[in-house]
A and B are shown apart, each in its own frame.
Chain A
Amino acid sequence: MLAIRGLKKVYRDEGDEGTTALDGLSFDIEKGEFVAIMGPSGSGKSTLLHILGFLDRPTGGEYVFNGKKMDELSDEDLARVRNREMGFVFQDFNLLGHATVAENVELPLLYSTDIEPADRRTLVERAVKAVGLEEKMRVEAGNLSGGQKQRVAIARALVMDPSVVFADEPTGNLDSKSGGAVMEILRELNKEGHTVILVTHETYTAEFANRILHIKDGLLEKDEKVLKQRETFFK
């Protein structure tokens, strides 16, 4: 479903020769995979996720997502693809603190051109139910615990029923119990058919995936199949 060939990203400030974050990466990810991108900090794994999630553009190489070449798409097109086909879960949740759970989850629907306003409520309820927060629909997101916030973020990522969910260190700000709950939800999503692409530096988080891409210095170091996926967060 997505393929990258020779993907490069160089951050260039005026005058200097630039910092290379990605140095010619190539791999494919098939529909239904659960892929963890691992690497030490500074390895370029977050940059890679941002490019895969159409949040940033590469400086070189090719990226094809669901048959669409990224360099042929305008910023508007990217926004539309992010809205319809991608869901995002961030390390620090990025919720609107003064909005309710339902309003946070509804956000992607507001920017969609093909969801009828009348259908929004049903979609929001379904997504919130999927993360088990139906009791908290009318609670302000700022008043939730970290684990609950991340589940709201997952519901928001799910609400448009995207083909792929990107998660950037989703357990990074959570204790192991809530982190475990979040990972179990992501694994469930994958079982239901969503492609999940996860960035992490923790091995035990990465082992929820069925494939681990090890990135180091902007290069693919190892493409590893996970023979036995982890089922719980605890050893």
Chain B
Amino acid sequence: MLFRDIFHTGIRSIRHARMRSFLTILGIVIGISSVIVLMSVGTSAQALIVDQVQSIGSDLIFILPGATLSSRFSAPASAFGVVTKTLVQADVNALEREPSISAVVPAVYGQGTIAYGNNNAIISYQGVTANFFQVRNFKVASGRPFNTADVQGGNRVAVLGQNIAKTLFGNFDPVGKYVRIANTPLQVIGVLGKQGTGPGGVNQDDIALVPITVAQNQLIGINYFNFVTVQANPSYNMDFVKARVISDLRQDHGITDPTKDDFTVQTQQDALAILGSITSVMTVFLAAIASISLVVGGIGIMNIMLVSVVERTREIGLRKAVGATNRDILRQFLVESALLTLVGGVIGIAIGALIDVLAYLVLSAVLETGWVFALPASAIILGAGVSTAIGIVFGFYPARQAARKSPIEALHYE
């Protein structure tokens, strides 16, 4: 029997029992649409995260003190608050001499109370050098950023994030006023523009920036750095620059055995790879849960196909009498259940896409950052393929039952 004819026969019997066919494929529709929604939401979330990471600047290399243990996906101890004092000014000086590096921004992190008059708040502040603003693309909305003279002179100045400015000053302009951080008076010289949530969920409108010398010597009292950002010279390859950073630091720290590194160097690609793998795992995990309903749907298909085989016993007998082989009958029922589930899959994809559009409209209105609409082609192909496969897998047993009927018993079935 030609496939075209089998196909026609299948379409005919599905159309003949429209209501039943629809109810039969409902499980598949629900399963496929949830898989589609989860896959596309996962993709969108991934795109959003990647976008945020990339907004930091794709030419940056991050240095953390302390070694990274075991795999490349783990973070150094310093990331968990363990104090490591190995990154110092000598390292920064060495890196600044490197022609493949265009900027080096050391940073220290502190936490403390910021107060203005009776208003106060507990904040995270960063001590940074003047080139931080240009390297990290932080703009001031009013006033000015601090400059090299402020840093070198240890001037007691601060640039506030939008939210802190609002908390302490309400609608007044803080520029020129004095705030106290860790009981040290600092003059506010600028307020940052709106930065939004950065990678890792830190709201960058909640931080205050002070010259690194002030933070090290007056606020915290340390002489090492918590973090160093390196901006690569655009004419050099990132991997090369990363290698240069590592070799400079090893030389500076007198390390000959790479396993004894007391620092961790990560590029933005490394960060993207980690985040990408996390979101992929999440997406696959959620899609796997959603696909449980596909199994349930498949069992429903098997059930209905078994009923259909019994109901059509006489038809099977007749087809055999006029020359259908067992294989013809097997194919006919397999194609029929595969068609059913494929239709279910297509409807599921359409409903999933619709939910995606709604999610896009709602999320892009709620989230300030851009939520991108994503309906990956892989999800569509997977949805159609999986649904057809379910039809073939769960349709096989009923189809074999049909094929095995003896023509004469089938013809005499009442």
Q: Point out the residues of chain B lying under 8 angstroms from A56, CB to CB.
A: 406-408
Name A82's contact: one of B315, B322, B326 (CB within 8 Å): B322
Q: Smallest CB–CB gap between B6 and chain A, Å? A: 9
Please, which residue of chain A has its CB at the minimum distance from the CB of B317? Answer: A94
* B320 within 8 Å of A (CB atoms): yes
B319-352 contact mask (Cβ, 8 Å, vs A): 1 or 0: 1111111111000000000000000000000000
* A98 within 8 Å of B (CB atoms): yes
Bound: A79/B319 CA distance, A: 10
Q: Point out the residues of chain B lying under 8 angstroms from A112, CB to CB.
A: 323
Bound: A228/B324 CA distance, A: 39
A75 contacts B321, C-beta separation under 8 Å = no
B325 contacts A79, C-beta separation under 8 Å = yes
Q: Point out the residues of chain B lying under 8 angstroms from A108, CB to CB.
A: 322-323
Q: How many A-B residue pairs have CB under 8 A?
A: 64
A61-98 contact mask (Cβ, 8 Å, vs B): 1 or 0: 00000000000000110011011100010100010101
* A226 within 8 Å of B (CB atoms): no
* B411 within 8 Å of A (CB atoms): yes
A81-122 contact mask (Cβ, 8 Å, vs B): 1 or 0: 011100010100010101100000001101110000100000
* A211 within 8 Å of B (CB atoms): no
* A144 within 8 Å of B (CB atoms): no
Q: Point out the residues of chain A lying under 8 angstroms from B318, CB to CB.
A: 94, 96, 107
Bound: A55/B406 CA distance, A: 8
* B242 within 8 Å of A (CB atoms): no
Please, which residue of chain B has its CB at the minimum distance from the CB of A75? Answer: B326
Bound: A211/B4 CA distance, A: 44
B325 contacts A76, C-beta separation under 8 Å = yes
Please, which residue of chain A has its CB at the minimum distance from the CB of B6? Answer: A110
Q: A94-B314, A156-B322 are in contact. Are A55 and B407 (CB under 8 A)?
A: yes
B188-207 contact mask (Cβ, 8 Å, vs A): 1 or 0: 00000000000000000000
Q: Point out the residues of chain A lying under 8 angstroms from B407, CB to CB.
A: 55-56
Bound: A94/B319 CA distance, A: 10
Please, which residue of chain B has its CB at the minimum distance from the CB of A106? Answer: B5
Q: Smallest CB–CB gap between B2 and chain A, Å? A: 7
User: Which secondary structure dominates where chain B touches chain A?
Assistant: helix
B86-97 contact mask (Cβ, 8 Å, vs A): 1 or 0: 000000000000
* A136 within 8 Å of B (CB atoms): no
Q: Point out the residues of chain B lying under 8 angstroms from A110, CB to CB.
A: 1-2, 5, 9
B324 contacts A79, C-beta separation under 8 Å = yes
B320 contacts A79, C-beta separation under 8 Å = yes
* B12 within 8 Å of A (CB atoms): yes
Bound: A83/B318 CA distance, A: 11
* B16 within 8 Å of A (CB atoms): yes
Bound: A88/B323 CA distance, A: 11
B1 contacts A111, C-beta separation under 8 Å = yes
B2 contacts A79, C-beta separation under 8 Å = no
B323 contacts A94, C-beta separation under 8 Å = no
Bound: A84/B322 CA distance, A: 9
* A201 within 8 Å of B (CB atoms): no
A94 contacts B324, C-beta separation under 8 Å = no
Q: Smallest CB–CB gap between A66 and chain B, Å? A: 15
* A214 within 8 Å of B (CB atoms): no
B325 contacts A90, C-beta separation under 8 Å = no
Residues in A132-164 with C-beta less than 8 Å from chain B: 156, 160
Q: A55-B321, A110-B2 are in contact. Are A94 and B411 (CB under 8 A)?
A: yes
Q: A56-B406, A56-B408 are in contact. Are A111 and B322 (CB under 8 A)?
A: yes
Bound: A18/B56 CA distance, A: 87
Q: Smallest CB–CB gap between B204 and chain A, Å? A: 68
Q: A56-B406, A99-B12, A117-B2 are in contact. Are A111 and B328 (CB under 8 A)?
A: yes
Q: List 16 A-B contacts (CB under 8 A).
A: A50-B408, A56-B408, A75-B326, A76-B325, A76-B327, A79-B328, A82-B323, A94-B314, A98-B16, A107-B318, A107-B322, A108-B323, A111-B1, A111-B323, A111-B325, A117-B2
B residues with CB within 8 A of A: 1-2, 4-5, 9, 12, 16, 314-315, 317-328, 406-408, 411
The 3 closest A-B pairs by CB, nearest first: A83-B323, A111-B323, A108-B322
Q: Can you add 17 more A-B contacts, CB < 8 Å, to A99-B12, A110-B1?
A: A50-B408, A55-B321, A55-B407, A56-B406, A56-B408, A75-B325, A76-B327, A79-B326, A83-B323, A88-B321, A94-B314, A94-B317, A111-B319, A111-B322, A111-B324, A111-B325, A117-B2
